[in-house]
Amino acid sequence: MRIDIATLFPELCEAVLSASILGRARRSGRISVYCHQIRDYTLDKHRRVDDTCYGGGKGMVMQAEPIYRCYEAVCAQLPDKPHVIYLSPQGKTLTQQRCVELSRMENLLLLCGHYEGVDERVLEEIVDEEISIGDYVLTGGELPALVLVDGIARMCEGVLSSSECYEEESHYNGLLEYPQYTKPEVWRERRVPEVLLSGHHANVDRWRRKQQLLRTQEKRPDLMARYQPAPEDRKLLAELALEEETPGLYKEEKQR
């Protein structure tokens, strides 16, 4: 897939997009991400892209024309109109499910606002949806855009080594991820759960699923309230309800 980012700070975006898994995915051609400097599309000799607000108020507003010209330039490079997303605290909150859906699209254009925002008219003209990464306000849309790219890219074929890398993670199936352990077997008198050392794959899978349910119950009851458990999950939830509570989030006897 191809993702284009319209921004006033392409260098900020490139610093993240060139590193780690995203950088490798771009270099291997698994995904294509291009950053476009909106200032390159202004007709102002001083490269200004903002002006004062009509109606008064502090701060500056990004002008419609440079953004639209940037949008036109991106569209000229594509066979079809890209799906345009404006990163905004007024948008719908980003979810794992939306990342999966967006990863199936061919072309995305992410618009990063700045200052006091963007002239509403260009949003009405080109934007297909607005997305927020949380109920708070940042100084610009670059960080939310990078979060969105990361969340989408890892769903694309070949970016991660296999689908298992994300299918068992938190939120993918509506639950939080099970706890993870590595060597040494004992660290500061804390042992790795015996079931993980048993080599019995069915028991490991069952333990992990049970831990997912337990973690979601304890840490995110809001997620558990929306979760629709399958019959096997109902059995595990019944077991959890019958178990005697012990201090700590994860029951020590279930881990040993």
Whether residue 95 is predicted with pLDDT greater than 50 in this model: the reply is yes
pLDDT of residue 171: 54
Residue with tokens 């419609």: 64
Least confident of 26-35, 36-45, 166-175: 166-175
Mean pLDDT along residues 235-240: 93
Q: Which pLDDT score is estimated for 249?
A: 41
Question: Which uninterrupted H or E stretch holds 92?
Answer: strand 83-93
- Residue extents of the structural domains in the chain: 2-164, 172-255
User: Is pLDDT at 187 greater than 60 in this prediction?
Assistant: yes
Which residue from 185, 150, 191, 165 is spatially nearest to 24, judged by alpha carbons? 150
User: Which of the four pLDDT bands, split at 50, 70 and 90, describes residue 250?
Assistant: very low
Q: Does domain 2-164 have CATH number 1.10.8.60?
A: no
> Domain 172-255 belongs to what topology?
Trp Operon Repressor; Chain A (1.10.1270)
User: Quick one: pLDDT at residue 170?
Assistant: 52
Alpha-carbon distance of 229 to 212, in angstroms, equals 12
For residue 168, pLDDT beyond 60: no
Structure-model confidence comparison of residues 164 and 190, the more confident one: 190
Please give the average per-residue pLDDT across 49-70, as a whole number. 94
- Cα Rg, the chain, nearest whole Å: 23
Per-residue model confidence (pLDDT) at position 76 = 98
18 within 8 A of 47, measured Cβ to Cβ? no
Q: How many CB atoms lie within 10 A of CB 49?
A: 23
Q: Are 7 and 35 in contact (CB under 8 A)?
A: yes
The mean pLDDT value of the chain amounts to: 90
Burial class (CB in 10 A: 0-12, 13-18, 19+), 16: middle
Q: Round to whole Å and give the CA distance between 50 and 65.
A: 10
pLDDT tens across 192-231, in order?
999 999 999 999 999 999 999 999 999 999 999 999 999 9
pLDDT-above-70 percentage for the chain? 90
Q: Which of the pair, 148 or 164, is modelled with greater confidence?
A: 148
Residue 251 has pLDDT above 50, yes or no: no
End-to-end CA distance of the chain: 45
Residue 155 clears pLDDT 90, i.e. is over it: no
Q: Is the pLDDT of residue 112 over 80?
A: yes
Q: Dmax of the chain from CA atoms? A: 72
Q: CA-CA distance, 79 to 154, in Å (whole number)?
A: 24
Kindly indicate the confidence band of residue 156, based on its pLDDT and cuts at 50, 70 and 90: confident
Is the predicted pLDDT of residue 183 greater than 80, yes or no? yes
Q: What percent of the chain has pLDDT over 90?
A: 82
**Chain centre to alpha carbon of residue 140:** 17
Identify the pLDDT of residue 165.
Answer: 43
